Structure 1
Amino acid sequence: MTRRAIILVEGDPTGNILPYAQAARRLGLHPIILSSEPAQYDWRVAESIEAIRVDTNDLDALTRECSRLRSTYEVAGITCAKEWVCAAVAKLCKHFDLPGPSPASIERCCDKFTQRRLLAEAGVPVPAYRLATNATDVEHSAAEIGLPVILKPAVGNGSSGVRLCRNVDDLIEHTAYLLGGKHIWRSSPKVLVEEFANGPYYGAYMMGDELIGICAAEFDPPPHFVFREWTFPASLTEEQHERIADLSRSCLRALGLGWGPAGVEVRWTKRGPVVIEVNPRLAGAPDPQMVQLACGVDLVTEHIKLVLGDRRNRRRRHSQTVVARYLVPDRDGILDRIDGESQAAAVPGVVEVKLCIEPKTPIARKGDYRDCIGYIVAASPDLAETKMIAQRGVDLISWSITPFATRGSGSGSGETGNKAARPGR
């Protein structure tokens, strides 16, 4: 009998790709990872997961490899856990007549300028925005919108290259970073200049056109947007919940989405909810774990079921409030040590402790998702209690960082970094 397989194209090595592979196995599938760098998934040998090297930036190469695998396996579906390959995966699904999202819709959504335009045309409230391809365009756009503004790549994710610019000096500096060769572009350089929509941040988790739930998040201090804490479900009034839910569905209609997972990011401003971004994918860890703990819906498994053509009902229950606290260093340097994982995991109510970095690893903060060196997830029926549990866990994690040697100083200076760094300090 031909073995039934599912193809997973790329993913975050410490994020959702392993849960996808594990969920596929629970459903009786043989997971196969296609990656430009299979070695980055260092757990694949221990998990006995097949990984094949292929240029995942090359659609023709992906198509050939999928065709080859179909001669050996019954390929039941193709999916991904990484935004930059979402459009390619949608095209593969269409080519092989497998369930998947609309390739055109995914491509429109992944271009933030096109996404803003389509949302605005549909009457969805978005920040004022302009597209710029050079420093002069950036300067003029910022003047038209009015400082402060957000500068971000028109194509990208994880807050990479995103910065709040409060004044002209900030604007010049970050424009030079984005357009001066320091930022790594996956497409032609295009910068979105955007009004700063200030207010509480919420994220809506969608599966198909169904709202699964809404979370709240807090960031470390600007100018970057590094997450510090997630809370699920968000503490909202009934009116706020309905407005965000309706707005999220309007986004999916405007962008032609509605198949598979999506995330809608919202800021609640003085003029009400404003859509910051729509992501045509499942959020990374620990978001799916938080949703499952809070309401019993396994988003990873539900996504795979859709990939297989199964549209089962997702029954939700609310029994717990879940808080994730991120561990973020306050300086660059060499991580000397990081301790307390087992002690934090032993705190009643702490359900997961994840450290993403090993001692002696260089730390060079980017101002985006890559700055996170770990997280703690806590759960209980009460929000205040859950936050206290998470804090107890965080208090037990400590680390030290030796700053990089600077010109004129010896490499053996022995200067010690954050011995008891605290997210949310």
Structure 2
Amino acid sequence: ASALYKMENKLVTREVLEDTPYNPRYLVVNAKNREQTEKKAEAMLPLVLKYVESNGSRDVFLCKTKEDYRRFLNRLLRNYPRGNVLAEEFIDGRQVIVEVLATNGTINIIAIIEQEIMINRNHFIVTGYNLVTEDETENYRKLKADVKKIIEKFGLVNGPCHLEMRCLNGEWKVIEMNPRISGGGMNQLLSIGLGINLVKEILNLALDEKVTLEPKYRIPTFAQYLTVKRGGVLARITGKNQVSQSPGVRFVFIKPRRGKQLYPPINLGNRYAYVIATGETGEEAKTNAQKALEKLKFHYY
């Protein structure tokens, strides 16, 4: 199978990493074996259930109790009666994204981004992205070395991918991998913080043009996303100008238009705006982004 398929399918990803330290504990559950695996799965709680071909957090659930496990497993097997579901141990701790571009077999680590994640109704919603500008700490040096070993396992020669990783007792574990740049405002974030237009470089690679991946600078940069606490039909949005004129703000994106039905977040599609801001430090960039976004108000009919 191609490197891309091995990353797309979450079960195949686990199989490729079988004899490495990079897998969390996991079980494969389906309609046929759910009875036999139930006790084993319940012994692993808290755990994460995911459909092997899900993306964008839609079919991923945090299960803290046996009731959660049964309810969300039922839902997944109802939606995908012939499919496989992964039950993985939940690794508590900071999650990071590693953005990678392989060029002729060379694995280039473009950036490490720390994620801020909220859990809403058993769903993981990423609300913040912090571009790491100091990646030479011991922990991050190990992460970069591990990522290179992992990608070699997949045989990726040319093309982009990103890995979501968490650290368990000093060992980095793969949460998931995808054979593309992260969605949302990732390209914007890298462009503002590092001066690298990764989408453009991916196209250059595909067209056999020169690829330039050296950061032009390293500016502390943070992307903050907006979700809503209660849903409704959008009537108007106020504060757009105040947001763009706030200190440190470099980019503002607002998705919904008037008349759109908004929902509290149960997947990444329910994030309705984001602000990317810079600062002297990572903390300042984050504060700038959050304070700016607070000025944006959605009004309902």
Question: TM-score scaled by structure 2?
Answer: 0.91
Q: Distance in 2 between matches of 1:285 and 1:192?
A: 25
The amino acid across from 1:154 in the alignment is V
Alignment of 1:378 onto 2:254: no
Q: Distance in 2 between matches of 1:191 and 1:231?
A: 31
4+ runs deviating over 6 angstroms: none
Q: 1:312 Cα shift?
A: 2.8
Match of 2:28 among 131, 155, 159: 131
The amino acid across from 1:196 in the alignment is F
Q: 1:354 Cα shift?
A: 0.8
Match of 1:203 among 78, 83, 97: 97
Cα 1:149–1:282 change in 2 (3 A) is same
Alignment of 1:247 onto 2:146: yes
Q: Distance in 1 between matches of 2:180 and 2:21?
A: 20
In the alignment, structure 1 segments of 5+ residues that lack a partner are 1-102, 403-425
Cα 1:399–1:312 change in 2 (3 A) is closer
Cα 1:388–1:372 change in 2 (3 A) is same
Q: Is the 8 A contact 1:252 1:258 kept in 2?
A: no
In the alignment, structure 2 segments of 5+ residues that lack a partner are none
Q: Distance in 2 between matches of 1:396 and 1:176?
A: 41
Question: TM-score scaled by structure 1?
Answer: 0.65
The amino acid across from 1:339 in the alignment is T
Q: Distance in 1 between matches of 2:285 and 2:255?
A: 23
Q: How many residues align?
A: 294
Residue-by-residue CA offset, 1:390-422 (whole Å, 9 max, x unaligned): 1221121112446xxxxxxxxxxxxxxxxxxxx
Match of 2:88 among 194, 201, 219: 194
Q: Distance in 2 between matches of 1:110 and 1:130?
A: 18
Q: 1:237 Cα shift?
A: 5.5
Residue-by-residue CA offset, 1:298-333 (whole Å, 9 max, x unaligned): 100000001102343422133311100000112333
Partner of 2:231: 332
Cα 1:234–1:316 change in 2 (3 A) is closer
The amino acid across from 2:46 in the alignment is P
Partner of 1:294: 193
Which fold has the larger relative contact order, with Cα–Cα distance below 8 Å and residues 6 or more apart in sequence? 2
Q: Is the 8 A contact 1:350 1:389 kept in 2?
A: yes
Q: Distance in 2 between matches of 1:388 and 1:366?
A: 22
Secondary structure of 1:226's match?
A: strand
Alignment of 1:257 onto 2:156: yes
Identity %: 24
Cα 1:234–1:268 change in 2 (3 A) is farther
The amino acid across from 1:201 in the alignment is Q
Q: Distance in 2 between matches of 1:141 and 1:255?
A: 29
Q: Is the 8 A contact 1:218 1:228 kept in 2?
A: yes
Specify the structure having the higher radius of gyration (Cα).
1
Partner of 1:322: 221
Secondary structure of 1:359's match?
A: coil
Secondary structure of 2:18's match?
A: helix
Q: 1:368 Cα shift?
A: 1.5
Q: Is the 8 A contact 1:267 1:274 kept in 2?
A: yes
Match of 1:110 among 1, 5, 8: 8
Match of 2:66 among 162, 168, 172: 168
Residue-by-residue CA offset, 1:225-256 (whole Å, 9 max, x unaligned): 10111000266562112111011111111111
The amino acid across from 2:174 in the alignment is V
Partner of 2:180: 281
**Greater strand share, structure number:** 2
Residue-by-residue CA offset, 1:144-178 (whole Å, 9 max, x unaligned): 5x111100110121111111100011111111221
